């Protein structure tokens, strides 16, 4: 797998959009969807194909071959641009252009500024990936949809998940399916699967399973937590409320999966301090291993960072798994946790903990462990290949 380049989100530009020292073509994404066209950077100005972009923004586009003029109509707005002219018309009013529109390979290209000013679209530019991100004004006003934990096809899985969400101490389950649930090992494996998929719920110390067999199976699971049950319920609630607050703050409508991932990565790095002093002393608090420690208290270790990302990313529609393995540190090989994320149908490794400078440096963010391939992260991370394969399998 190739390394996915990072999208850096900048403020919307409604003034001149010129980018120095650029010559390569760039990708164009409109309302979160890549277009099968490229932008062209010429003499420091980004030119974009007007027809495909305007049609993606629900404008009707026509071309007058004789007058060499393109016309775009959307609602009560009419835009006209003549090839070679430094002035376009917006409802008959002149709009100055940085450079004139031109035809390149049978496509009419216009300055990017014209797109943002003419239809009121927001425009973002990513220097690293040479990507133009355009978002329509009406989409920008929409609310972000926050997704909840999806249901699983297995009824015992769902029973355990709901119990952990409510921090219940006991779970009961009756079934006729002896093959699937007929041993304590199988029930414990199911509980471990739930915690693997939702590590932000892992406040458990141990599980105790009892199975009574008769005409049907009566399964009882006792959950022993690392904290008082009342505290666990408060922690679950606090994490959920904080996650929603973070998403509303940093996620914008029309963002690509990569932009969402980066926004959440950056928030966690900027607002979390690695529990380094306690790590050195071997006195790490239990909260630092949890999503609560990272998101609410702002202090954590690797497991807490990875758990927090497994809480945030699925809420914005991005698949996330926790990887458990080892990493090479100054102390040698140590147990370590990080994430697998699925971006644009490809799985990548994400280690937010190792992208957070130690000791803490306010405002500093690294991308050394942002979306690496298996081969790239193996330089200092290792894990069970079978575990990696199973994690990447779709549910």
What is the second-level CATH architecture of the domain 229-392? Answer: Roll (3.10)
The token duo for 133 is 């991100």
Rounded distance between C-alpha atoms, residue 322 and residue 340, angstroms: 6
Looking at residue 291, its pLDDT comes to: 97
Average pLDDT across each block of 10 residues of the chain; the chain has 395 residues. List them in order: 37 29 56 73 77 80 89 86 88 85 81 71 70 69 70 91 96 93 93 94 94 91 96 97 95 84 96 93 94 97 97 96 92 92 93 93 92 95 70 42
- Report which DSSP code applies to 44: T
Give the phi and the psi of residue 23 in degrees, each rounded to 5: -135, -20
Domain ranges of the chain: 26-140, 155-225, 229-392
- 71 by Cβ neighbours in 10 Å (0-12 / 13-18 / 19+) ranks as middle
The token duo for 104 is 């390149």
Looking at residue 141, its pLDDT comes to: 54
Looking at residue 127, its pLDDT comes to: 65
- Kindly report the pTM of this predicted structure: 0.71
Residue of 29, 19, 80 whose CA lies nearest to 57:
29
Q: Is-contact 98 18, C-beta < 8 A?
A: yes
The correct answer on CATH 3.40.91 for the domain covering 155-225 is no
Helix (H) or strand (E) holding 29: strand 26-30
Give the phi and the psi of residue 322 in degrees, each rounded to 5: -100, 130
Choosing among 3.30.457.10, 3.30.365.10, 3.40.50.300, 4.10.320.10, the CATH entry for 26-140 is 3.30.457.10
């Amino acid at each position: 797998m190739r390394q996915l380049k990072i999208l850096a989100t900048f403020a919307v530009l409604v003034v001149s959009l010129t980018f120095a020292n650029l010559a390569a073509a760039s990708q164009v994404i409109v309302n979160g969807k890549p277009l099968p066209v490229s932008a062209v950077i010429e003499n420091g100005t980004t030119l974009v194909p007007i027809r495909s972009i305007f049609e993606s923004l629900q404008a009707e586009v026509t071309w007058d071959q004789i007058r060499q003029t393109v016309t775009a109509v959307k609602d009560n707005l009419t835009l006209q641009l003549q090839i070679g002219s430094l002035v376009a018309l917006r409802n008959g009013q002149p709009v100055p252009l940085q450079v004139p529109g031109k035809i390149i390979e049978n496509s009419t290209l216009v300055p990017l500024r014209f797109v943002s000013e003419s239809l009121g679209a927001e425009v973002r530019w990513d220097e690293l990936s040479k990507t133009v991100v355009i978002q329509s004004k009406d989409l920008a006003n929409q609310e972000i949809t926050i997704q909840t934990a999806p249901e699983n096809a297995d009824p015992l899985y769902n029973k355990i998940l709901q119990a952990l969400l409510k921090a219940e101490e006991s779970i009961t389950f009756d079934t006729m399916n002896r093959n699937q649930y007929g041993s304590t090992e199988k029930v414990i494996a199911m509980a471990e699967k739930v915690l693997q998929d939702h590590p932000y719920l892992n406040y458990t110390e141990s599980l105790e399973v009892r199975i009574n067999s008769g005409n049907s199976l009566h399964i009882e699971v006792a959950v022993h937590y690392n904290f008082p049950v009342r505290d666990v319920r408060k922690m679950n609630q606090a994490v959920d409320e904080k996650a929603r607050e973070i998403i509303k703050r940093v996620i914008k409508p029309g963002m690509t999966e990569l932009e969402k991932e980066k926004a959440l990565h950056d928030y966690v790095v900027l607002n979390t301090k690695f529990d380094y002093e306690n790590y050195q002393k071997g006195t790490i608090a239990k909260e630092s291993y949890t999503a609560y420690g990272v998101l609410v208290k702002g202090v954590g270790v690797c497991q807490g960072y990875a758990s927090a990302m497994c809480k945030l990313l699925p809420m914005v529609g991005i698949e996330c798994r926790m990887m458990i393995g080892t990493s090479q540190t100054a102390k040698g090989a140590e147990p370590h946790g990080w994430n697998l994320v699925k971006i644009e149908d490809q799985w990548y490794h994400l280690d937010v903990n190792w992208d957070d400078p130690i000791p803490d440096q306010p405002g500093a963010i690294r991308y050394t462990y942002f979306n690496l391939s298996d081969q790239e992260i193996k330089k200092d991370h290792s894990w069970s290949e079978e575990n990696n394969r199973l994690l990447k399998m779709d549910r």
